[in-house]
Structure 1
């Protein structure tokens, strides 16, 4: 909500607004936890990560992921909200002239993004059985890389839910390969950065060629 208000109604550059919120949120997390690991003691939360909670052999966390993916696909491809989102991402001025409330649309999109981040944070806590103020560090890099690999244009106007999911799977596979080969974390981060650069360059060439 704060990011959406700052960007949509405050006129701030999205990168600056979200970067400031990133720093503030990390500081708030450190203050709340006092730098200590917070152990989850709620049985109903911990049980979600146990085999007994599986549905037809599928972990509840996978089902949540699938539900969010389907809901996102329906919202983007089968609703007016989705069409407005593509229009605003492609050309905000043209969308405004077409009668779309661009600022409100952007606010709603930031709200949805925050909601999805909250769901992801909850799933991470279920997996770990605890929470730390450092949880999620550099996840923004993984998210950007997965979206780009999935075909989302950083300039806006093009992107799909299915492509993003495939991007997540590809990037996760790459990360697992790094781990299996015992690559150090610093080397992994360098490689991830190189992957992002390569994907962006490939995107620009594809757009320039009109394919």
Structure 2
């Protein structure tokens, strides 16, 4: 309480007479500058790039030439592509302060509907119809989620959890729990083709990521998404139709799940209700590790892409070294917890509260 009265009376010449205070000031300034750097989007992405580089070094040391070759890097990219497309859609939802637990089940439902015999027969000679059907199913599921959340005022966690169960059950009913083989040659030939030696599946992921980055960072839609996540009430008072925008966000997440379903169909040549199991958790993990705040108000597509690549590389390193999937899951859990703890720490510093 005495500091406000003593501070104004302290002469400017007191600084040289107090070497202790002069010596301690620069370190605190350095620490705050470092904290500001790593709490920025660029700083977080640099941290992810460093972590990814270290993981590549570990793979090179432990697996040698089996890991450090062009074909293996393409395998990592293809592995990241499907989850990556799903994660881009989830990034928008989480940035707005929501959550979508249903994207994995919606992916499975989209793959089943798109691989129905009637759809494939109708798509003979025009395979994009299969893609359209898969995306349409995803958009319809997202529309249902968004309407229930925005207008039914159901908590996003519960609404999307219900869709997770319902979409998986509907996929089982439609497919009668049987695997449906994809026999459309045009569809398979396109998605198994490549451009400049890189699979079309990877290029689709790149296009979705670039489009997502542009939408989030360079459009009114993206600014409204961030505003809703930061303070939905303030966004509404500023003229944003929060309910309608929320519906759009879940439709976008559903569309991404539908696109990912077509990519998975081309890789497995089969539509089944088991497709996409636990994909929602992998997508959310990549989004959080990438730097998007779970409470909303901040999102980064670049960070999400790096998060997906980080987990895909981790899986590849573990596979190359013949380590069990159980160990992989433990490692993923540690990474996720570490990412959330860092988020909380930097969020506290940005908010001015002392960090532990």
TM-score by length of 2: 0.56
- Identify the residue that residue 164 of structure 1 maps to in structure 2: 304
Which shows bigger deviation, 112-121 or 179-188? 179-188
Q: What do the CA deviations read for 1:18-45 (whole angstroms, capped 9, x no partner)? A: 1110011111111112222111000011
Matched, 1:24 2:166: yes
Q: How large is the RMSD of aligned CA atoms in angstroms?
A: 1.5
Kindly indicate whether the alpha-carbon contact (under 8 Å) linking 1:4 and 1:106 is maintained by their aligned counterparts in 2. yes
Alignment partner of 1:54 out of 194, 199, 202: 194
Greater relative contact order, per chain length (Cα 8 Å cut-off, separation 6+): 2
Alignment partner of 1:5 out of 125, 129, 147: 147
Alignment partner of 1:133 out of 259, 262, 273: 273
**Partner SS for 1:210:** helix
Kindly indicate whether the alpha-carbon contact (under 8 Å) linking 2:147 and 2:247 is maintained by their aligned counterparts in 1. yes
Q: What do the CA deviations read for 1:48-69 (whole angstroms, capped 9, x no partner)? A: 243xx21222211111111111
Q: CA deviation at 1:12?
A: 0.8
- Identify the residue that residue 177 of structure 1 maps to in structure 2: 317
Counterpart-to-counterpart distance in 2, 1:101 and 1:182: 51
- Identify the residue that residue 291 of structure 2 maps to in structure 1: 151
Q: CA deviation at 1:74?
A: 1.3
Q: CA deviation at 1:117?
A: 0.6
Counterpart-to-counterpart distance in 2, 1:60 and 1:93: 42
Kindly indicate whether the alpha-carbon contact (under 8 Å) linking 2:191 and 2:263 is maintained by their aligned counterparts in 1. no
- Identify the residue that residue 341 of structure 2 maps to in structure 1: 201
Larger Rg: 2
Which shows bigger deviation, 190-199 or 139-148? 190-199
Paired residue total: 209
* Structure 2, unpaired ranges of 5+: 1-142, 352-356
* Structure 1, unpaired ranges of 5+: none
Counterpart-to-counterpart distance in 2, 1:171 and 1:146: 7
